[in-house]
Amino acid sequence: MRFQEWSVDDLTECLRGDGLRWRSGPFIIHAIADAPGLVEPMRRLYAYHEILTTPYRDVADFHLELARGQWLRRWFRPTIHFLPTGRASGSPMAPFPLDHALPLLEWGQNWCIASRANHYLMLHAGVVAKKGKALLLPGTPGSGKSTLAAALSLSGWQLLSDEFALLHPYSGRLHPLARPVALKNESIQAVRDFSNKAVIGPEFPKTRKGTVAHLRPPKESVDLVDRVIDPVCVVRPVFKAAAPTTVQPLPKDNGFLILARNAFNFEMQGKRGFRAVERVIGKCDSFEMVFGQLDEAVAALEEIFASSVKKDCGSPLR
């Protein structure tokens, strides 16, 4: 059963008791949480995610707990703490205000994936796909990759991730991780303006990244969780307010640097990470896109991608 088929009361009881298990891309997440205000938006944003019951009751890749602050912090400016199990030294993150449990849950999952999913080469990139081919959007925070991934997912593209590109180092394919898209500050309104189909959760002001809200991933993207996809195109987005959209092809050596620098675990992967980046850049076109308007950027990406797919399909080296 999916989240949307469970009642808020049942989800709350489960989260406070043995916890909930659900699939998030290739991972099974197990979460226990005691946080008022978490369940309702979680139910809306994870509406299409499958809740795992028997026979998955004792299986999970990541176990995490959101626990309320103790003693004085239970009543005075109450806090919520992220506690991944299996970690001896307690929480790796500072506590959040109690009413910020949802961003904490999302960042907590990011922490789990970034620190433990080292069987993938993890790229700091948005990933979307169409026609069985993927477009990588590597970039630093603020470059616009999440906003673009959100807008493209609302335009019929499959959302693989807005934050983590999970590249299998041997196959060179990308694994979907369709989770709620974290939108920040001005991008929240930009995505609302872009599409009236956008289902966006509550806004959380004054987080470490400003105001944050989450976009629900499309049902089709959540359902395609097992479909791994070949990348065909790499575009580094550069957001500049009010700038006209310009696209520039990048030489392959620049493309290599962009991917390697945006990999969370490039050094840890060693030789296989090096070869994985070489492989992706070897077969993908690389571009840099400066943009200031979301609709213009989406149109430009459609054009770049169509040209790359056409080139890829015509290549005798496939």
Partner 1 sequence: MQSTQNNHSNIDGDLDPGGVSSEADVLTDRWSVASPHLLHWTTLEDAHFLFDERSGTTHILNDISRLIMERLIERPDSVMHLTHDLFGPFPLDLSQNKRVDDGKPSLGLYEALSRVRLLMSHLDQLGLVHPVGMYPTPSSSEQAATSP
Q: Which of 141, 156, 210, 282 binds partner 1 (CB under 8 A)?
A: 282
d(CA 253, CA 172): 18
Per rule CB under 8 A, is residue 251 in the interface with partner 1?
A: yes
Give the DSSP letter of residue 196. Answer: T
Helix (H, G, I), strand (E, B) or coil at 45: helix
Per rule CB under 8 A, is residue 40 in the interface with partner 1?
A: no
CB of 215 to partner 1, least distance (A): 30
Compare residues 72 and 268 and give the one whose CB is closer to partner 1. 268
d(CA 210, CA 203): 10
Helix (H, G, I), strand (E, B) or coil at 297: helix
Per rule CB under 8 A, is residue 275 in the interface with partner 1?
A: yes
CB of 140 to partner 1, least distance (A): 11
CB of 274 to partner 1, least distance (A): 4
Per rule CB under 8 A, is residue 172 in the interface with partner 1?
A: no
Give the DSSP letter of residue 244. Answer: P
Per rule CB under 8 A, is residue 266 in the interface with partner 1?
A: yes
d(CA 77, CA 190): 32
Per rule CB under 8 A, is residue 318 in the interface with partner 1?
A: no
Q: Which range of residues in 18-26, 239-247, 250-258, 290-298 is near partner 1 by CB under 8 A?
A: 250-258
CB of 260 to partner 1, least distance (A): 6
By the 8 A CB rule, do 277 and 231 touch? no
CB of 255 to partner 1, least distance (A): 8
Closest CA to 29 of 121, 109, 91: 109
Q: Which of 274, 293, 302, 309 binds partner 1 (CB under 8 A)?
A: 274
CB of 273 to partner 1, least distance (A): 8
Compare residues 156 and 282 and give the one whose CB is closer to partner 1. 282
Compare residues 278 and 295 and give the one whose CB is closer to partner 1. 278
Q: Which range of residues in 55-63, 79-87, 263-271, 287-295 is near partner 1 by CB under 8 A?
A: 263-271
d(CA 145, CA 160): 12
According to CB under 8 A, which residues from 197 to 226 bind partner 1? none
Q: How wide is the angle at C-alpha 117 spanned by C-alphas 116 and 118, nearest 5°?
A: 95
Q: How wide is the angle at C-alpha 303 spanned by C-alphas 300 and 308, nearest 5°?
A: 125
CB of 257 to partner 1, least distance (A): 7
Per rule CB under 8 A, is residue 281 in the interface with partner 1?
A: yes
Give one word for 54, left, alpha or beta, with left for phi > 0 and alpha for psi -120 to 50. Answer: beta
* Main-chain phi, psi angles of 57, to 5 degrees: -55, -35
Per rule CB under 8 A, is residue 270 in the interface with partner 1?
A: yes
Give one word for 208, left, alpha or beta, with left for phi > 0 and alpha for psi -120 to 50. Answer: alpha
d(CA 305, CA 300): 9
What residues contact residue 266 under an 8 Å CB cut-off, 6+ apart?
Answer: 121, 260, 273, 274, 277
Per rule CB under 8 A, is residue 268 in the interface with partner 1?
A: yes
Per rule CB under 8 A, is residue 255 in the interface with partner 1?
A: yes
Return the bridge partners of 312, or none.
none
Compare residues 92 and 249 and give the one whose CB is closer to partner 1. 249
Per rule CB under 8 A, is residue 239 in the interface with partner 1?
A: no
Q: Which residues bind partner 1 (CB under 8 A)?
A: 251-253, 255-257, 260-261, 266-268, 270-271, 274-275, 278, 281-282
